[in-house]
Amino acid sequence: MRTSQTIVIDLVVMCSILIFSGCMNSSKKHYEYADGNANRYVLTPDSLQYIPVLAQESSSGMYSGGQPKVVTISIDDFEVLESHLKNLVKRVELHSTNRMKMSGLIKDKDSQKAVILNLVRS
């Protein structure tokens, strides 16, 4: 069962990220987030890309994350989303050493740092 904290974290990250771009200039700041279902989001200073998991890639073989989407964002929106991501990275009480279902993964492509977030709270 998903807790309200899990939903809030996913919404903050997803709304903050709604797109992680696979076709971007490598000199741009670049964050990636994978949610608990392995849908990916790519955040850059000018875009948010959603890369859904395909049914054939899902553990059940049936789950699909839907349609991919790319949206243009302002630098102000980027900075807000980047701030949310950095705050989640700082919250070590949310970190995990194992990637499991319902965990999230944040990657800072510039620093090559990655953090697994345990989004399921007991």
Mean pLDDT by 10 residues, the chain (122 residues): 46 44 54 89 95 90 94 95 87 79 76 74 55
pLDDT for position 68:
97
Task: Tell me which residue of 119, 121, 116 sits closest to 11, measured CA to CA.
Answer: 119
Q: Which domain holds residue 88?
A: 4-118
Beta bridge partners, 69, equal 50
Alpha-carbon radius of gyration of the chain: 14
pTM of the model: 0.70
Task: Tell me which residue of 114, 121, 122, 117 sits closest to 92, measured CA to CA.
Answer: 117
pLDDT for position 111:
67
- Number of domain units in the chain: 1
> Backbone phi, then psi, for 95, in 5-degree steps?
-80, 155
**Ramachandran class of 66: left when φ > 0, alpha when ψ lies in -120 to 50, beta otherwise:** left
pLDDT for position 120:
67
pLDDT for position 15:
42
pLDDT for position 66:
94
